[in-house]
Amino acid sequence: INNNNNKDLYNYNRVIVYKIEDGYLSIKRFRKSIEILLNKHEIFRTSIDYDINDNYLKQTINSSINDLYSYELTYFDVNDLEKLNLIIYNEQITKYFDLNKGKIFRCHLLKQNKEEKNKLIKNDDILLIYHHSALDD
């Protein structure tokens, strides 16, 4: 757990992809709902660290969600499936998580239209990425 540079940790990332099929979703409200979810469920605020003095894993439930998840917004061409697949692949292998700090959740919004800056609309994607320790598969 202390060695976050280990490449084997990449396979612990899980990605869930949702596509907006109809209507729209306010990005502001969506982000607020993520914050409520993280506040409600302690597992998303839990850090795990190895105590070298006492030789055991120490679990801490953080009281605040500040800086416990990362968020990104990317604009892309809906016809560029190769770029979409590359973004999803990179989310699976990139290390955004830090178990020692309790950072085990990430949200990446993929928008096609730069004009609707505050909304996700039809064919936009939501990627929810989490470290497998947060949820049972």
Give the pLDDT score at 135.
65
As a whole number of angstroms, the distance between CA 99 and CA 130 comes to 11
Total tally of structural domains belonging to the chain: 1
Give the pLDDT score at 114.
83
Q: For the whole model, what pTM was predicted?
A: 0.79
- Domain holding 117: CATH number? 3.30.559.10
CA distances from 95 to 51, 70, 88, 103, 114 (A): 23, 11, 13, 11, 27
Q: State the pLDDT confidence band at 137, using cuts at 50, 70 and 90.
A: low
Residues in the chain: 137
Give the pLDDT score at 64.
73
Domain contains 2 = no
Domain contains 72 = yes
pLDDT in tens, 101-123: 878 888 999 998 888 889 999 99
- pLDDT greater than 50 at residue 2: no
Domain that holds residue 57: 10-134
The amino acid occupying position 55 is N
Q: What is the dihedral of CA 109, 115, 120, 122, to 10 degrees?
A: -110
The amino acid occupying position 13 is N
